[in-house]
Structure 1
Amino acid sequence: MAGNAEEAADFETAIAECGFGMFNVFILCSAMPCLTAMVFSASALSYVMPSAECDLELSLLDKGLLNAATYAGMIISAVPWGFIADTFGRRPVLISGGWLDGFFVLCASLSQDTAQLMAFKFFDGFVICGPFAVVVSYLAEFHGKKHRPYIMLFVGLCVSAGSMIMPLMAYVLLPVNIFFKVGTLEFRTWQIFMAASAIPTLMSGLMHMFLPESPKFLMSQGNYTKAMESLQRIYKMNKRKSKDSYPVKRLTDTTPDRSAELDGTDRRFTRKEKFNRAKKQFSEGFKQLKPMCAQPYLGLSLKVYFLHFCQIMCVNSVRLWMPQIFATMNALEKQGANDTSVCAVLDHNAEALPRNSDARKAECNLHHNADSYLGNIIVSAIGLAGYLVIFPLMRISFVANHIVKVFLFVCIFLVGGLYFVKTSLVTVMVSATYLTLMGICATTVIGMSVVIFPTLMRTMVLLLIMTFGRLGSVSGNILLPLFMQLSCLAPFLYLIALMTIAFLCSLFLKFDDQQALN
């Protein structure tokens, strides 16, 4: 380290001295299941729906409400999770959230009717909301300025990989005809699929037990002793040297040193004193949120919230209905229908066949065909390839500053173009391009937010950004079935209007993810 070894170092200097090595590889591997679990929680029902609609006798509105249930849970839990993560730390949220979410996903797989499935998916969303936002902050706070921009590339790649793993699981599992009874409970293929989707979140809870708390968070709390221990552990694992050889001997931050008070190393506390300390910590946690309600962060955050609301409302209105659309397209093609356009599919879904009719049973059997999941696999593969091509270009400042505006503008025409496509192949290509570009936009907005908001409000702001996106998802999945029932053109006009608003909003934001953490 340049200069006097005893000179106090800030976070960026201290984390740079740790280098990049095995510790970073392990923390990235631990984040993978958490990021994948979020995709599984949000998307599993959209793959289950074509198979489960016959078993649960789902109407068009039931499908919309089921898609919205997970997001409703995420919305309600966002503020509590953000407060806990920014007050008590990232690590407890990642561990407890992973185990608890796995429990609720397994409960959802035991559901015997629509109400049970909706309730457990609500709690699934309620729990997974915290770990997903926290893991983004957690990753950013373990990497320096040199590597931090690549973290959002990694997040995007994991989300894309999760989006590809899900249809591959559906392709392998859902066409298999499984049925068995345990007492009065009946289990079918889609419930086995739901149970398998609990694996990533359980893995996330387990793997984060072996990782330390974020050193940046500990420094912002004034706990420099534990922050130093965390940094020394990273240094030891990356450099294969002893902790004592870590060149940084003293840390500095805007927060006064409170290590002895926070660790309880100065003396033992009574139960009453521990309770008072916890109460004080809650009080200080609320004080940390005050800057969110004042300039310069208030105006900026409101713009980001509104942009994310519009773009996620658009993207999830399309993404969560794609498995249903591709399954119906496949069924119509197998039945020899002449018209397999998106409009024909939407009209077919709006005119639900009578329950228990022979025609409905025949179509349900076609939904179990493996070919109905190929479209989703292609869409996910194109999305993954898109991230690999685009995100390295984000190191170029001109690209980083304008990519969201350009992509949102292009997506206005792509979502409108879906109205005119007539074949399943063109539908797959247009929807894949649209979802890829929109996914990159959403990841870029979150990446920008990681660096421009301070540590003690970072996770809360990320959760609020995602909450507005999920509000958009809930609204979109309730409104889209209503527009579908009006006419084929109505949902497309609605999506074009939202995309235009998102594009106009992006013109008032500057995107830069290559600055130091506040």
Structure 2
Amino acid sequence: MADRVRDNADEAADFETAIAECGFGLFNVFILCSAVPCLTAMVFSASALSYVMPSAECDLDLSIVDKGMLHAVTYAGMIISAVPWGFIADTIGRRPVLISGGWLDGFFVLCASFSQDTAQLMAFKFFDGFIICGPFAVVVSYLAEFHGKKHRPYIMLFVGLCVSIGSMILPLLAYALMPVPIFFKVATLEFRTWQVFLAVSAVPSLLSGFLHIFLPESPKFLMSQGNYKKALDSFQRIYKLNKRKSKESYPVKRLIDSTPDRSADLDGTGRSSTIKERFSRVKKKFMEGVLQLKPMFSKPYLAISLQVYCLHFCQIMCVNSVRLWLPQIFATMNAMESLGANDTSMCAVLEHNAMAVSMNEDDKRVECALHHDPRSYLDNITVAGIGLVGFLIIFPLMRIRLVSNHILKVFLFICIFLVGSLYFVKTSLMTMILSAIYLTLMGICATTIIGMSVVIFPTLMRTMVLLLIMTFGRLGSVSGNLLLPIFMQLSCLAPFLWLCSLMCIAFLFSVFLKVDDQQSLS
């Protein structure tokens, strides 16, 4: 196809042909580097409180239910904002969401670092989740729409790799910063180490908003809007940077897609629009956006999307029920070992956390001091490191069709036994090893689901569907973090039976899900 385009400059090219002509080079490296802060920001938003909690519980006097609420509130914000962000991204564009979302999220994370009580922290973390939801889902579509079939499966794994890197940076940052005793006052506001830690975690969001200023709009999105003139300009910019040639030498001169060419209408006539014309344009765009959602409720997309939603709900409920509580568990294990406890099994840790509320003030002060011990973060760093190595190993294997077709169901099946095994472990070392393997395999499963979804659904539905998939995952996170403290208070066995049951349901959904992740984008 590429040779035919060169032979006949007037022949119209589709997206896959046009993007293949751009090659892979400096532009792709820059867009991937720009995506790293955005993906890292999502990890920071979702997980920063996990590292803050052992310290903040002493300053804010948090109960086990308060901790569950704080974990859940960020995801609640993400759930509420999913549909509005999806509509904006699929009608206005990917780039505006990435720029404005990055700046706004950084602002709310900084506000969270100024929190003086539990209510303020909950409120700002809610808005943090509300904003970061959009850029995270959009960046996945954005990356896919700048790469052809040859590189797209790798791009989806790159997303997983970035999430693993973010998960590695966060405990390293906690290890370096949290043990440092920081306390200062500004007027009536008091600031401690955990608040400084939260302020530093705003950097990736602000950097993401800044870097995307220098990138163009997705050419696939522009083509789906009928704006072929701007789409061709985007392709030419990519070609110029990658091939080190002039824009004019780009072999594709005309683009074709299912949407009629509306370049002239979208460019405007050059005169200023009246308020009535602007309102009419917004109303038309809204109606177009509503019509774009219609195919989501018809064959073949409805049945596939429901499968994916339910699968993601179960697996994310399981993975975040373990992941978000892990720093607290490791901090408690470290404190128990330092206090001379012989039994550091999961049951002993859960019982210790349940009894923490009834401790006297002296015992609380001793345990809070132990939570600042740098050793309590080493297990978290090891878990994140194993996750990163896992992605690096699986990264090249995903090009093998047999692996990509079966990896989801195989890993979910293994994870049923891994999460159940946590009930039987007696030492912190075994807890760390099993948790690391479990979280690594589940992280790969979550990335695989998102990668599949990118190619299943067409451009005008893609971001909305990705947001809905993530919304179901976040519903799982909220449910998990509200239910887990209740199960913990019932008995030690209850949370593990519950997690194993959810893993079995997720595995059954994966058995019936069949997708070719190397098909063309529609």
Candidates 412, 417, 420, aligned match of 2:416: 412
Report if aligned partners of 2:484, 2:495 keep a CA contact under 8 Å in 1.
Answer: yes
Q: Does 1:2 align with 2:6?
A: no
Candidates 23, 29, 33, aligned match of 1:29: 33
TM-score by length of 1: 0.99
Report if aligned partners of 1:445, 1:511 keep a CA contact under 8 Å in 2.
Answer: no
Query: How far apart in 1 are the matches of 2:359 and 2:521?
Result: 57
SS of corresponding position for 1:285: helix
Report if aligned partners of 2:456, 2:515 keep a CA contact under 8 Å in 1.
Answer: no
Q: How has the CA–CA distance of structure 1 residues 182 and 355 changed in structure 2, closer, same or farther, with 3 Å as cutoff?
A: farther
Report if aligned partners of 2:90, 2:464 keep a CA contact under 8 Å in 1.
Answer: yes
Give the drift of 1:270: 2.9
Query: How far apart in 2 are the matches of 1:308 and 1:115?
Result: 30
SS of corresponding position for 1:352: helix
Runs of 4+ in 1 over 2 A off after TM superposition: 265-271, 353-356
- 383-392 or 350-359: which moved more? 350-359
1:36-47, aligned counterparts within 5 Å? 36-47=40-51
Give the drift of 1:434: 0.3
Give the drift of 1:350: 1.1
1:344-363, aligned counterparts within 5 Å? 344-354=348-358, 357-363=361-367
Query: How far apart in 1 are the matches of 2:357 and 2:231?
Result: 62
Query: How far apart in 2 are the matches of 1:361 and 1:511?
Result: 54
Query: How far apart in 1 are the matches of 2:175 and 2:205?
Result: 21
Q: Does 1:513 align with 2:514?
A: no
Query: How far apart in 2 are the matches of 1:20 and 1:80?
Result: 33
Report if aligned partners of 2:63, 2:357 keep a CA contact under 8 Å in 1.
Answer: no
Residues 348-369 of structure 1 show CA distances to partners (whole Å, capped at 9, x for unaligned) of 0111243661001100000000
- Structure 1 letter corresponding to 2:80: I
- Structure 1 letter corresponding to 2:163: V
1:182-331, aligned counterparts within 5 Å? 182-265=186-269, 269-331=273-335
Q: Does 1:126 align with 2:125?
A: no
Candidates 394, 397, 409, aligned match of 2:398: 394
- Over the aligned positions, Cα root-mean-square deviation in angstroms equals 0.9
Q: Does 1:107 align with 2:108?
A: no
Q: Does 1:176 align with 2:180?
A: yes
**5+ long unaligned stretches in structure 2:** none
Q: How many residues align?
A: 518
SS of corresponding position for 1:428: helix
SS of corresponding position for 2:358: coil
1:77 is aligned to 81
Q: Does 1:493 align with 2:494?
A: no
- Structure 2 letter corresponding to 1:242: S
- Structure 2 letter corresponding to 1:413: F
Report if aligned partners of 1:354, 1:360 keep a CA contact under 8 Å in 2.
Answer: no
Query: How far apart in 2 are the matches of 1:418 and 1:448?
Result: 30
Query: How far apart in 2 are the matches of 1:397 and 1:483?
Result: 40
Residues 70-95 of structure 1 show CA distances to partners (whole Å, capped at 9, x for unaligned) of 00000000000000000000000000
1:461 is aligned to 465
TM-score by length of 2: 0.98
Residues 230-282 of structure 1 show CA distances to partners (whole Å, capped at 9, x for unaligned) of 11000001111110000000000000000010111476543312221111011
- Structure 2 letter corresponding to 1:141: E
Query: How far apart in 2 are the matches of 1:503 and 1:436?
Result: 16
Q: How has the CA–CA distance of structure 1 residues 385 and 199 changed in structure 2, closer, same or farther, with 3 Å as cutoff?
A: same
SS of corresponding position for 1:75: helix
Residues 422-479 of structure 1 show CA distances to partners (whole Å, capped at 9, x for unaligned) of 0011100000000000000000000000011000000000000000000000000000
Report if aligned partners of 1:400, 1:511 keep a CA contact under 8 Å in 2.
Answer: no
Query: How far apart in 2 are the matches of 1:270 and 1:254?
Result: 31
Give the drift of 1:220: 0.2
SS of corresponding position for 2:315: helix
SS of corresponding position for 1:512: coil
SS of corresponding position for 2:356: coil
1:138-177, aligned counterparts within 5 Å? 138-177=142-181
Report if aligned partners of 1:353, 1:359 keep a CA contact under 8 Å in 2.
Answer: no
Residues 404-439 of structure 1 show CA distances to partners (whole Å, capped at 9, x for unaligned) of 101000000000000000001110000000000000
Q: How has the CA–CA distance of structure 1 residues 119 and 355 changed in structure 2, closer, same or farther, with 3 Å as cutoff?
A: farther
